Amino acid sequence: MDDTLAQVVKHCGLQLQIYTDCVDAHKHDWNAACFKQKQALTKCSEEHVTLLKTVKQKCSTVISNYDKCVRDNADDPEKCIQSLRDLYNCTQAVAQDKAD
């Protein structure tokens, strides 16, 4: 996964910096305030980093479940630990398949 992050930084460094700056500037409402910046980073990453596109396709249900959990439990994100574990396991499985 370190290689994936390196690819994101290489190809989408500007979008990553803009998103990071936005999150830093909006500590209490970053999820809403930085939505456009997040979308730009996501789009760039999916276009330039093959593994991320594959993960999004193969883990779409798990991603949706995690996103819903986070939205539904914004005040208590610890309730989403299992969803986060499921997402991690799915991404690791996809990365392992690509490595084989």
For residue 57, CA distances in Å to 29, 62, 74 come to 29, 10, 25
Q: How confident is the model at residue 100 (pLDDT cuts 50, 70, 90)?
A: low
Does the pLDDT of residue 95 top 70, yes or no? yes
* DSSP classification of residue 47: H
The answer to whether the beta carbons of residues 79 and 73 sit under 8 Å apart is yes
pLDDT confidence of residue 27: 87
Higher pLDDT, 43 or 5: 43
pLDDT confidence of residue 98: 74
Euclidean distance between CA atoms 89 and 42, whole angstroms: 20
Global pTM value = 0.66
pLDDT confidence of residue 22: 95
